[in-house]
Amino acid sequence: MANSPMITFLALGLAALLLSAAGPAAAQNFGCRSNECCSQYGYCGTTKAYCGKGCQSGPCSGSGGGTTGVPVESLVTAAFFNGIKSQAGNGCAGKSFYTRQSFLDGARANPNFGKGRSNDDSKREIATFFAHVTHETGHFCYIEEISGASKDYCDEKNTQWPCSAGKGYYGRGPLQLSWNYNYGPAGKSLGFDGLRNPEKVAQDPVVAFKAALWFWMNNVHQVMPRGFGATTRAINGGECGGGNSAAVNARAGYYRDYCKKFGVDPGNSLTC
């Protein structure tokens, strides 16, 4: 039986209390899919209660919702994209692999990428994405994790996405997709067998960007309103809290630089 408006109201109120008690870190555990809204309380859904007033990200529809955004291609120009790549060494495999067009193809497959409550939010998200990509790939130098073949990143306890014998789920692509529980659902969403053929992410540049944006939309997009530091935690929480302050500061440095290029204030909470 469908919930009554009163039950829905009470449920959302309880959710708000629980979230408030748990603190901001708890909200980061709720990863919304690309077709879902992140409600004002940090929960995911597709109804008006989630996509209406106070909606933080996703296909929001109510007052203050987030479907505004500047065209991605207007910010990620050839000069911007190639300006990042030009800082990689000539011997880098990524220089001939990553292209602006492959990124734009990946972005078109994820129409909610770069959509926020304002054009400035849109600019900040695109700057955030490229700050992390720059750090993860060394300015588009690396397609695969350095010494990644020595690590399988197989979570054997995850029976939903069981590892295939002889396959390594180490970092590949613009955001260095890792672990079987990411390769499996990413492949299912994108139309390839991520468990049996994880190498696909390092072989096709469009698939590489689609996989990176799949991860982004499911794990990072919804924490954008909390500041750049929250996105670092969502991508590599091990760097936070003194785990690797140099990496945290490097990511934030790229972000500030790209925000300056886009003419937008980077906001607060830049580190985690």
Residues belonging to the chain: 272
Q: Is 125 a catalytic site residue?
A: no
CA 265 to chain centroid, in Å, comes to 20
Category of 176 on φ-ψ map: left (φ > 0), alpha (ψ -120 to 50) or beta: left
**Chain centroid, CA 50 distance in Å:** 20
Whether residue 168 contacts residue 148, with contact meaning beta carbons closer than 8 Å, is answered with yes
Q: Which stretches of 23-99 are DSSP H helices?
A: 24-27, 48-51, 72-75, 78-85
Instruction: Determine the Cα–Cα distance for residues 135 and 253; give it in Å rounded to an integer.
Output: 10
Residue 219's nearest CA partner among 113, 67, 111, 68 is: 113
Q: What does 169-211 look like in DSSP terms, one character per residue?
A: ---BTTTTB-SHHHHHHHHHHHTS-TTT-GGGGGT-HHHHHHH
> Could you tell me if 179 and 195 are in contact, meaning their C-beta atoms sit under 8 angstroms apart?
no
Tokens 């672990």 label which residue?
179
If you count DSSP H runs as helices and E runs as strands, how many of each does the chain have, helices first?
11, 2
Q: Exactly one of 36, 125, 136, 239 is catalytic; which is it?
A: 136
Catalytic annotation, residues: 136
